Amino acid sequence: MWTPGRMSNAKSWLGLGMSLYFWGLMDLMTTVLSGTPTPPGKLEALLPDKPQSHLRIKRSWVWNQFFVLEEYTGTDPLYVGKLHSDMDRGDGSIKYILSGEGAGVVFTIDDTTGDIHAIQRLDREERAQYTLRAQALDRRTGRPMEPESEFIIKIQDINDNEPKFLDGPYVATVPEMSPVGTSVIQVTATDADDPTYGNSARVVYSILQGQPYFSVDSKTGVIRTALMNMDREAKEYYEVIIQAKDMGGQLGGLAGTTTVNITLSDVNDNPPRFPQKHYQMSVLESAPVSSTVGRVFAKDLDEGINAEMKYTIVDGDGADAFDINTDPNFQVGIITVKKPLSFESKKSYTLKVEGANPHLEMRFLNLGPFQDTTTVHISVEDVDEPPIFEPGFYFVEVPEDVAIGTTIQIISAKDPDVTNNSIRYSIDRSSDPGRFFYVDITTGALMTARPLDREEFSWHNITVLAMEMNNPSQVGSVSVTIKVLDVNDNAPEFPRFYEAFVCENAKAGQLIQTVSAVDQDDPHNGQHFHYSLAPEAANNPNFTVRDNQDNTARILTRRSGFGQQEQSVFYLPILIADSGQPVLSSTGTLTIQVCSCDDDGQVLSCSPEAYMLPVSLSRGALIAILACIFVLLVLRSLDQSCSGFWSLSALTKNSFLQFPECPYDGIGSP
């Protein structure tokens, strides 16, 4: 900083201004002697006695470029320099005028002497130079004595700005265990002083805090590691303070500082270690598969990916009964049940578990194996288990004609616990709503309780329960599938009513109908039906039956020349027999009408008796048909009167019938 002690007042710079003035004259002399063209006016000032006939003389300003130091803090105006015209004879007839940048505000001029002063504190970092214009006027007439000319006042720098770290504070990261000299970060300080003048802006870096761990290059500001084997696990964060000093670091220079926060990033330089070499765990024998038994943890001083762990079972007698998985969030090993356990079969297991880093760095392999092992002892605890059936599923086949009370299967269960409690058996009635079966409470004998009918239920799926007597809450169950086997207990029969016709002009051996049969039974080798005339019609002279040997039969005429007047309808009884053991049979009747036909065998007419209802219709069907006929006749006779409609409604009691065109009008009974 410029202080009053360095400059007490503006007069102390008078010598400097005069020096600049005479320096300008010497420069001009050098120019003349060297043969360089001389600015107008200056030659006249230097060589006043030179004959004018040999030189072109023009009056001109006499001055040079001005320099003034910044940061002057004195109380008097600061002398900058002097303007002088070679036409000025010192009698005060010349008036000097100053204009341009800062004229009258920053700089003033004595209009008589031409002395220039600075009246404000100057700062080179804000403005390095000012361009002004000067003019000399005849004080009496006000006319210009010289052409207006331009000149420059340059602000000369002093060391008044300390270096600054514009990007600080800094944050940097460097891997732990880095070699000495590893570059961490580069810091940069800037100095607002003039770098072209002296050493005011020449910065030198040094480290104030952070040794002996780090160093800084004095010229470039590059921070490097300075200590071998820096360990993140021992110290992770460092606060380094860097100083930048100008004047090339010399005494009296100004300085600035910044902070660099350096973090050591992790590398995989620590193997995992189990804090326990032995773990003791227990699990109930009833624990389901995949349930958790316990956790193991191998501690790793590293972090992130370098602390990731993989757990495996490498030895022990429980490798087939248990599994281990790694929790990626907490890096613990979770031991789970791999298969069902039994206290009665095996009461304890031993596992050897390994924890290892899956991500390794080659340069740290010489530190030893990056894995560790521990031993896990697992005890299986007994629980009161429900009875277990052996086998776990039953399939039974039974004929449908089995006698009631027949034992079809012995169901067996046992208590798996050491106590071996007594068992009581029962049937889950929701699985046997028809109560076709029952089971002996003590022996487990499964028996029939009702007749079985394969044609009604060919399969039964029941559930048998086994309960411990001493602990009724412990109940086991088993599924029993019962297939009802077929026996030949159904005779074959026609699937529908068969009716055929024969032409009056039919010939002997003419086919009039093909019949087939059905049987509800399901023999192993399939159905085989046999057809023949019933014994009472074995000698029928009109028709015969031919078995096609494919479960169908043909009905053929045995003669020709049928007549409606002789007999209009024939009833032919046909015997149908199956091939079961024993053989079952039934008789079906084929109704044959006699009709008149054309030469092509097309029916022209049949006897009215052919329209008679078959005798096999039930009484209810006949009544329903007669009722329909009666209703149709009544409707036709009502002459479409609404009163008749309501009478009919009352008659048939169909009060739910609604006819919009016949609203109830009080006539009859609605």
pLDDT digits (tens, 9 = 90+) for 97-140: 999 998 889 999 998 888 999 988 888 888 888 999 999 999 98
In terms of domains, do 146 and 37 share one? yes
Q: 25 pLDDT exceeds 60?
A: no
Q: 399 pLDDT exceeds 90?
A: yes
Per the model's pLDDT, the better-predicted residue between 488 and 261 turns out to be: 261
First-to-final CA distance of the chain: 126
Whole-number pLDDT of residue 245? 92
CATH code of residue 349: 2.60.40.60
Q: Residues 57, 63, 64, CA angle at the centre, nearest 5°?
A: 120
In terms of domains, do 14 and 144 share one? yes
Q: Are 477 and 428 in contact (CB under 8 A)?
A: yes
Average pLDDT over residues 606-632: 58
Per the model's pLDDT, the better-predicted residue between 419 and 299 turns out to be: 299
H or E element at residue 85:
strand 84-85
Question: Residue 558, CB half-sphere, CA atoms under 13 Å: how many?
Answer: 11
In terms of domains, do 371 and 438 share one? no
Per the model's pLDDT, the better-predicted residue between 637 and 456 turns out to be: 456
H or E element at residue 516:
strand 511-516
Q: Are 112 and 96 in contact (CB under 8 A)?
A: yes
In terms of domains, do 477 and 532 share one? no
> Average model confidence (pLDDT) for the chain?
81
In terms of domains, do 42 and 131 share one? yes
Domain C-terminal end among 330, 354, 381: 381
The answer as to whether 320 is a domain residue is: yes
In terms of domains, do 670 and 625 share one? yes
Average pLDDT over residues 190-195: 84
In terms of domains, do 627 and 605 share one? no
Query: Long-range contact list for 51-60, CB < 8 A, 24+ apart?
Result: 59/85, 59/86, 59/87, 59/145, 59/146, 60/85, 60/86, 60/146
Q: Are 459 and 421 in contact (CB under 8 A)?
A: no
Whole-number pLDDT of residue 223? 96
Band of the pLDDT at 367, cuts 50, 70, 90? Answer: low
The answer as to whether 360 is a domain residue is: yes
Dist. CA 233–CA 402, nearest whole Å:
84
Strands (E), 357-451: 371-381, 388-389, 393-399, 407-410, 413-414, 423-427, 437-439, 445-448
The answer as to whether 454 is a domain residue is: yes
In terms of domains, do 147 and 28 share one? yes
Dist. CA 438–CA 428, nearest whole Å:
10
pLDDT for 78-106, tens place per residue? 888 888 888 888 888 899 999 999 888 99
Whole-number pLDDT of residue 418? 72
Q: Residues 225, 226, 227, CA angle at the centre, nearest 5°?
A: 105
Dist. CA 204–CA 189, nearest whole Å:
9
Give every CB contact of residue 505 below 8 A, 6+ residues apart in sequence.
560, 561, 597
Domains identified in the chain, total number: 6
pLDDT for 492-549, tens place per residue? 999 999 999 999 989 999 999 999 999 888 887 888 999 999 999 888 999 999 999 9
Q: 606 pLDDT exceeds 90?
A: no
Dist. CA 216–CA 580, nearest whole Å:
111
Dist. CA 170–CA 239, nearest whole Å:
10
Dist. CA 223–CA 14, nearest whole Å:
49
The pair of structure tokens assigned to 531 is 């057809």
Band of the pLDDT at 224, cuts 50, 70, 90? Answer: very high
Band of the pLDDT at 227, cuts 50, 70, 90? Answer: very high
Amino acid identity of residue 627, one-letter, is A
In terms of domains, do 253 and 174 share one? yes
Q: Are 70 and 161 in contact (CB under 8 A)?
A: no
Average pLDDT over residues 18-47: 34
Domain C-terminal end among 381, 399, 428: 381
Dist. CA 547–CA 530, nearest whole Å:
7
The answer as to whether 494 is a domain residue is: no
Dist. CA 104–CA 100, nearest whole Å:
9
In terms of domains, do 532 and 668 share one? no
Domain C-terminal end among 436, 463, 485: 485
The answer as to whether 161 is a domain residue is: no
In terms of domains, do 530 and 649 share one? no
The pair of structure tokens assigned to 67 is 């320099």
The answer as to whether 490 is a domain residue is: no
In terms of domains, do 345 and 434 share one? no
Give every CB contact of residue 495 below 8 A, 6+ residues apart in sequence.
516, 517, 518
Band of the pLDDT at 211, cuts 50, 70, 90? Answer: very high
Dist. CA 222–CA 240, nearest whole Å:
13
- What's the domain range around 346? 278-381
Whole-number pLDDT of residue 587? 93
Greatest distance between any 2 Cα atoms in the chain: 184
The answer as to whether 239 is a domain residue is: yes
The answer as to whether 575 is a domain residue is: yes
Whole-number pLDDT of residue 63? 55
**Of the listed ranges 7-11, 276-280, 438-442, 574-578, the one predicted with least confidence:** 7-11
**Of the listed ranges 454-468, 580-594, 633-647, the one predicted with least confidence:** 633-647
Band of the pLDDT at 619, cuts 50, 70, 90? Answer: low
